[in-house]
Amino acid sequence: MTSVLGIGECMIELRREKNSMLSTGFSGDTSNAMIYLQRCNRMIQTSYLSALGDDYYSKQIIDQWKREGVSTDQVSIIKDELPGIVLIENDIDGERRFFYWRKTSAFVLLMEKLPENFAWPKTEYIYLSGITIAATPEKHRMKLQDFVLEQKACGTKIVFDPNFRPLLWDAKTAIKEMMPYITSANWFLASEEDLEGLNLECSDVLKKNSSDNPEFIIRGEDGKITIYGKNKISEVATSRNKAVDTSGAGDAFNGTYLGCRLKGLSAENSAIQAHQTAKTVVMQKGAIVSN
């Protein structure tokens, strides 16, 4: 069975409703992607490397992963710590605005708490994002990078989403920290907004990529999806819904795209199915919609 390891943070998601009350859920970009990946392709063994506390909400997050079929064997439970919190507000077009409380979350301690002799999990694919790196304290980022690149050297394929958030770090720092992952990625899944925020040209970055037959998939603001390879460029035209909430749409696209590719579908057909999933997600509130 094909194995995929996601790395990142899942947080308590607070959402302001029309009556000014707050609804509660759980989300995080790579966590969302693992859930949509598992929904798309049940023949994949998904697991998640993260850290949570021993509180009620951490247990609820664990339960969500288990219900969705995502293994929690690699989740560290740290006594007396808590998950991070994200408050999401939507404008009339469904676009999101984020407010984070995550600097003291359990995930911040993940790399610090791992023992020196920690047995890193063996996996065929690693999925992580720019947010994974940004949420990791700077002094521990090299430990994360070493693990990922060592796995890459042993044959593991890397799936990377830059998911640039200016609230978390500036573009110059983000580029410096992300570039080793971008140039090593087998799949690079990004939006035009990411590339613009980081001042990146996809064709230039692709030339620096060291993987055999990498795929760079770029989601356009107009619904167009462009797929770059070493030797070809293809485009998929799609339509867009009027969004209720765009939270998790990119994650749903990425998880579904990867799931379809691992089923053996072409890049173009995978992009079409992934876009259909994302269209469904934006019509409901919350990053994880009902299955």
Phi-psi region of 213 (alpha: psi -120 to 50; beta: other; left: phi over 0): left
Beta strands 11-16 and 125-129, pairing class: unpaired
3-state secondary structure at position 127: strand
> Tokens 């691992």 sit at which residue?
262
Q: How far is the C-alpha of 148 from the C-alpha of 246, rounded, in Å?
A: 29
DSSP letter at 213 equals S
Looking at the annotation, which residues are catalytic? 251
Q: How far apart are the first and last CA of the chain?
A: 23
- Other C-beta atoms lying within 10 Å of the C-beta of residue 249: 25
